[in-house]
Structure 1
């Protein structure tokens, strides 16, 4: 009776936590969508002071919405059911085992081996860690999996941050006067990508498919390649708005997938070092793709237009970023191939971790 009550109580608590988590995430998504909507509305029509204050008040309410969870838990506490203890058994095992019992043969052999190791008679060779175990920093650096993951992540976030850094120029080249909406769409997509990318990859890695997380990096990089080609050859305001949201979404997925993949492959002991090395891919990609590639090509096309009597301070037209976007699309195609190779290499790791339920979250058979 006690075990059944504990099980029911644990299930109810898990369901309550899942509900609270879903409420917090739904409130966050609603807030993001609301902010983008108000940005679009403010750009389309001139709002009065009263309307602006009302919209701001709704924003504050949405920001405070997650506080409803602790308020609910405080005001509506659930009483714990009274558990009936089972009657004490007449025959109970002793709490302490007498120490004068002779040791088993196995224990004697282990003691002999330990004594031999201490005296130097046995030299125990240190085994290198396998995937999924705790790696030292230097041990991870010589693994192909680490650099495949780093390179795939570098392509995804490097090309994405290039669009982010040049959104104003891209919008101006497409004839968009106010680029505030572009930034809002990219930010909303980035938020949804980080939130949804982690949830979806977690769902599928624990399903019967056992899809490795890098699959989602390869899928989003394929989408990025298509978006860059659209920006290269169909640079219109509608395409720019849509691609800003899509690129932001795929950009967010890269980070959401990279973090758990690093921990699952190389352990948590030195996770901080691994994460920081992965994070270098973002500024490095910004320097190479944004400044050296897109920036130089944009400046060259802008100078050519000025000499031809064009706009004195900006570059207008699809030629401003066409070559850069084609190169970015090619890089994403390469990144897709790299992520697929990584997914194929590490599939046995995910099969070992999640085939019978995660080693971190036991399945129902293990719990009961």
Structure 2
């Protein structure tokens, strides 16, 4: 019971840190949501490998010291940064150097992932001295603090203001002198009326022509409302792309499409991560920890890459971001097939595909949710969506995978028992009272992997339905920047 309470407190603490950093950074960089989410979630996924390397250097004599380090270390970091990480003024402005800055940080991320992969493989395969481990850890610290060069360099350089930047002014300065605030509310209601009353074919027009038609319709509604010819309806609720509360989002089909797509996709990936040790042992691999380290690296690269490539899709093509999630889910479906077949080298390929696809979910989903449902209540929306991860793991890993594995293990144990009886090496009734069930061969996870592959295909279909439903939203959000 005590252990359950400690795990509950620890996991919830991680959620608070995650939410505070993610929400603040997405609000500070609303024009680069994909890269920001990908980098943050990537480092969150890589934190286990980083702390392991630090622990290896310090070389504590007992595990209690490791728990103490994990408990105190993150808390000290949070206390030191609690007044720095926050939404700041001017967060909607876009710097011309943002692309170069994110490219530099991406390069550091790739270098860090490659470095950790090499260090972990070297420490697993070769006996490394403590001095060399210390050198490895010092280099790791250097790579971790390298991205701080970006804000330091920007703080000492003044960039010319881009005319396309959005200038943030106080609300009083945005309104015309002597014009009451009610007029802005009327303008918002009129615009909402335009969205409701405009013909369907308007959305199919090119961006420039569509804006002209909407402006014309809005002007007509202004005149009609002023003459009393029409009564403008009050806005019933936000449209996609505006700020939603959690309760408003829960009644939207798009929100549940994201949720169930995430549940099926990330749940199947987490099932592999939870059972990776048994899967590798069943296929005859002894060093199971190598695959655990590898999937951690691929997970990191999936998060970073998912944010990067999904941003290219929305920024350069104004296409819905969930299409990249559908691609990631199809990649995971192929990875599950490799696990099911059990071919030579399948563990390496399957680990690569599952790690990349699973990691990509956690860069794409938060960014897509913030685009469709706004940033005002993004923390509540994001944390509700993360419930899909443990829910999927509970059903897929705790029920499906474990039940099928136990069934196959019992079947193999029974067959082995019969063979021993037939050979006269075992007396009847003496079998297996204290023997641990163990399954060998690709059959152990064949059915589970095929089921997970099917779930990933269904998740990809749900993502494509979401893509179809949100094409207009993304065209309005990102189409203007391309024209």
- What TM-score results when the alignment is normalised by the length of structure 1? 0.76
C-alpha change, 1:144 and 1:317, in structure 2 (3 Å) is same
| RMSD, aligned α-carbons | 3.0
- Flag structure 2 segments of 5+ consecutive residues without an equivalent: 1-93, 161-175, 179-221, 418-434
Which residue in the other structure is 2:110 paired with?
29
Q: Equivalences for 1:72-111 in 2 at 5 Å?
A: 77-78=156-157
C-alpha change, 1:289 and 1:80, in structure 2 (3 Å) is closer
Deviation at 1:348, TM superposition (A): 0.6
Which residue in the other structure is 1:335 paired with?
459
Residues 320 and 474 in structure 2, CA contact (< 8 A), matched pair in contact too: yes
Deviation at 1:70, TM superposition (A): 5.9
C-alpha change, 1:165 and 1:273, in structure 2 (3 Å) is same
Deviation at 1:67, TM superposition (A): 4.2
Secondary structure of 2:416's aligned partner = coil
Which residue in the other structure is 1:40 paired with?
121
Secondary structure of 1:309's aligned partner = helix
Bigger CA drift: 291-300 or 226-235? Answer: 226-235
Which residue in the other structure is 1:62 paired with?
143
Verify: 1:162 aligned to 2:162, yes or no: no
* The one of 365, 386, 410 aligned to 1:279: 386
Deviation at 1:210, TM superposition (A): 2.1
Residues 36 and 181 in structure 1, CA contact (< 8 A), matched pair in contact too: no
* The one of 317, 322, 331 aligned to 1:214: 322
Bigger CA drift: 310-319 or 331-340? Answer: 310-319
Deviation at 1:221, TM superposition (A): 1.0
Q: Deviations over 1:157-209 (max 9, x none)?
A: 100100111111111111111122211211111111111111211111121x3
Which residue in the other structure is 1:141 paired with?
250
Deviation at 1:125, TM superposition (A): 3.5
C-alpha change, 1:73 and 1:140, in structure 2 (3 Å) is closer
Residues 283 and 342 in structure 2, CA contact (< 8 A), matched pair in contact too: no
Secondary structure of 1:308's aligned partner = helix
Whole-Å separation in 2 of the counterparts to 1:137 and 1:57: 44
Residues 218 and 337 in structure 1, CA contact (< 8 A), matched pair in contact too: yes
The number of residue pairs the alignment matches comes to 311
- What TM-score results when the alignment is normalised by the length of structure 2? 0.59
* The one of 188, 192, 197 aligned to 2:297: 188
* The one of 239, 261, 267 aligned to 1:130: 239
Residues 151 and 335 in structure 1, CA contact (< 8 A), matched pair in contact too: yes
Secondary structure of 1:206's aligned partner = helix
Whole-Å separation in 2 of the counterparts to 1:169 and 1:126: 55
Which residue in the other structure is 2:416 paired with?
309
